[in-house]
Structure 1
Amino acid sequence: MEYTHFVSVAGLVCNDKDEILLLKSPTRGWEYPGGMVEPGETLQDALIREVKEETGVDIKITGFIGVCKNIQKDIVNIDFFCKYTGGDLVTSDESLEVKWVRRDEALNLVTFPLTKKRLENMLSADDTVKCFNFRKEPFEVVAEEKYTVRR
């Protein structure tokens, strides 16, 4: 049996004012930065590259939030906490608009169902790691768990 999974990464990027970096995608509306991991690329390098390409921002990855899987297309999404370290906000082919928003504004801007669910996980992160599996169309969470971080 041949196995093929695709992996994407995304980041909850916060600045010193505890604002969140969002971009307006041409296809999904407002979302956090991220994208597909290229062959031979580390998860961390992929996230740093995607955030820079989509927003112009430099980041430092500071923690792990969770993971989810699209069971229809075998795409695994991995989410991280990130800290803004520099760079100016710029748009790209993947971002029509880029801006910093307050945490309480972020969920109101994000409307795409999967993106909203992942953002809810990001914003509610604590000492647990969240893992869920879903169908994308129509969006449906089919299994969801929280795991306590053990040392």
Structure 2
Amino acid sequence: MTIQARHDKGGADLKQEVRQVVKASMCIDDLGPDVKGLLKWENYCKNLGLDKEGTKTLFTMQPYRYTGELHSIRYNHTLRASDVVLQLKPDEDGPGRFRFTINGEDDSKWFKQQRKEFYQKIGINIEPRQNKGNKYSIGN
């Protein structure tokens, strides 16, 4: 078999595999419309710092007690979480049709509050100040 013939056969095999993957993806969409949303949340959980077992537990839609570090990509901040309750909840209006909560509140709200408390502990006020050009101040 010539190099060109092997190349053509490899290309045809690859095209066939792509067709099979697309067909399987369409079946998954039909059989489980939440799968795509869960795949996005799986990536989110990985970015948070959760292991596969923790992520699997969340996908049961049951509360998951967690102690460890959680990383927020939005705030580029890793926070220590002590005995928090994480949960993935169905939500038709949420991203990927789900909502991620920490201690019962939306994760973004929880991270924002934790970040605020962290900066307050080290003496930095991150509240916007009236009529000032800079939004951060040190001390009171």
Q: Pick the TM interval, shorter chain.
A: under 0.3
What is the TM-score with the length of structure 2 in the denominator?
A: 0.26
What is the TM-score with the length of structure 1 in the denominator?
A: 0.24
Structure with a larger share of its residues in helix: 2
Q: Which has the higher contact order (CA 8 A, sep 6+)?
A: 1
